[in-house]
Amino acid sequence: MTKTELMELIANGENSGVEFKRDDVRPEQLAKEIVALVNFRGGRVLLGVEDDGNVSGIQRLGLEEWVMDTVFGRYVHPMILPFYEEVLIEEGLRVAVITMTQGTAKPYVVRHKGSEEIYLRVGSVSRKASREQQARLFALGGMLHTETLPVSGSSLADLDLDRLDDYLRNVLKDPEIPSNAPEWQTRLCGMGFLTEREDGDPVCSIAGLLLFGNRPRRLLRQAGVRWMAFAGQDIDSANADDAVLDGPLVGLWRVRHGSRVFDASGVMEQLFERMRPHITMEQTGVGAALRREQQWFYPPEALREAVVNAFAHRDWTRSEEIEIVSYSDRLFVKSPGAMQNSMTVGNYSGHPKSR
């Protein structure tokens, strides 16, 4: 980094990726700023710069060794290696620049006095991560798969075995269908739809309850979907419809007379039937079947994809509901949580990320 680049960085002040510190900072305090940055998007810590941007310079002897061996070696966990450099401002006045990329083994923690604390960058401030933020960091680091988390108070009895039978038999083409509760428990634990316990029968996972649960919202309040329709272009206009839809995501199909026929709706079918009067209109002409055909305001395939993605990619550690809101000029789909695996609107295209 050149002097000009450094001075421009200082002139722009602290932000989500830049932190100023005197070099007499305590090691756990410096570790806190480092952890917050690598848990977010990475960034730089400038040592020898006051909070107001005045350059006080490096005073500590052996600063590089102290940063690398003490701060990063003892306080920051898991190990991450920064890029360390010192920039000469003028004779006898230097600033240390510690550059970290975004961490790949999240969450990073500060180890101090026998405890571990997780921090995250919020604007220009480093704060302790909330419970929801911690869960997201664990998920980003591959240490937590929220869909397999157990749902307290649930059991095999909360799942629709008819839908599961159809799923195994006709979707997975599994010739061996469980015939009793212990067999179902064993099979569904292996599939991730139930989670084993040491002190009792297995309980439903989030995925199992969402896909096949009879009444998921009774045990998981963020399940289902909130649907609203407004006659105008904002929420102050007349409310045309408002409902919270609950039930298994998967529809029920049965085999009758050798054919597989649709028998009962899941949440997706319920939602589309509820939406239909508000996002379609009858055409004025008569079609080939001598009926007035419906015109969709949005392609049905795109609608279904948007709603499926809202369920598939939402953050299930958050208690908010998925919301689908229709206005007179647009349809709004809210999927709680940030984008997965540090993806952004700018880099998602053409860069698939597995969960």
50 with 167, same domain? no
In-domain check, residue 49: yes
> Which tens digits make up the pLDDT trace of 186-230?
999 999 999 998 888 999 999 999 999 999 999 999 999 999 999
203 with 235, same domain? no
Mean pLDDT computed over 304-325? 89
Decide which of 144, 167, 188 is a domain's last residue.
144
Count: domains in the chain = 3
18 with 120, same domain? yes
Mean pLDDT computed over 5-9? 93
In-domain check, residue 150: no
> Which tens digits make up the pLDDT trace of 135-163?
777 776 666 678 888 898 899 999 999 99
Decide which of 218, 241, 259 is a domain's last residue.
218
CA distance 57 to 64: 14
66 with 130, same domain? yes
40 with 112, same domain? yes
CA distance 16 to 129: 15
Q: Tell me the three state secondary structure of residue 174.
A: coil
In-domain check, residue 355: no
Model pTM score: 0.64
The boundaries of the domain holding residue 98 are 3-144
pLDDT of 341 over the 60 cut: no
CA distance 239 to 322: 18
Q: Tell me the three state secondary structure of residue 251.
A: coil
299 with 185, same domain? no
Place of tokens 């009792």: 200
125 with 68, same domain? yes
13 with 112, same domain? yes
> Which tens digits make up the pLDDT trace of 254-275?
888 888 888 899 999 999 999 9
End-to-end CA distance of the chain: 36
